[in-house]
Amino acid sequence: MSKKQDPKRKAQLTEKARTESFRFQVTWEKNQKMPEMPDEALNAELDALCEKGLTEEMFTLRDIVEGVRKELGCQTEAGKGSLEGTIVPYLLGITTTRPNLDQPNDTLTRAENIQLPLQIVLYYDNEIRNQVIDWVKARYEKVTTRLGQPILKRPNMLVEFKRVAKS
Residue 78 lies in a domain: yes
pLDDT of residue 3: 55
d(CA 159, CA 153): 7
pTM of the model: 0.86
Between 164 and 166, the more confident residue is 164
Residue 49 lies in a domain: yes
Between 157 and 2, the more confident residue is 157
Tell me the per-residue pLDDT of 71-113, one tens digit each, with 9 for 90 and over.
999 999 888 888 988 999 999 999 988 998 777 777 888 888 8
Residue 105 lies in a domain: no
pLDDT at 5 exceeding the cut of 80:
no
Residue 29 lies in a domain: yes
pLDDT band at 4; cut points 50, 70, 90: low
Residue 109 lies in a domain: no
Angle between helices 55-72 and 7-33 (to 10 degrees): 50
Residue 66 lies in a domain: yes
Domain containing 35 equals: 6-100+115-164
Tell me the per-residue pLDDT of 42-60, one tens digit each, with 9 for 90 and over.
999 999 999 999 999 999 9
pLDDT at 119 exceeding the cut of 60:
yes
Sequence-ordered alpha helix ranges (H) in 34-108: 39-51, 55-72, 87-91
d(CA 165, CA 21): 38
d(CA 58, CA 26): 10
d(CA 35, CA 23): 15
Give which of 123, 97, 96, 108 is closest to 156, Cα–Cα. Answer: 108
Residue 108 lies in a domain: no
Between 2 and 111, the more confident residue is 111
pLDDT band at 122; cut points 50, 70, 90: very high
pLDDT at 129 exceeding the cut of 70:
yes
Residue 1 lies in a domain: no
Kindly report the number of other CB atoms within 10 A of residue 34's CB atom: 17
Residue 54: what are its φ and ψ, rounded to 5°? -105, 15
pLDDT at 2 exceeding the cut of 60:
no
- Contact between 27 and 87 under an 8 Å Cβ cutoff? The reply is no
How far from 124 is each of 68, 81, 93, 163, CA to CA, in Å?
10, 10, 15, 5
pLDDT at 68 exceeding the cut of 90:
yes
CA angle, corner 79, sides to 55 and 152, nearest 5? 45
Domain count, the chain: 1
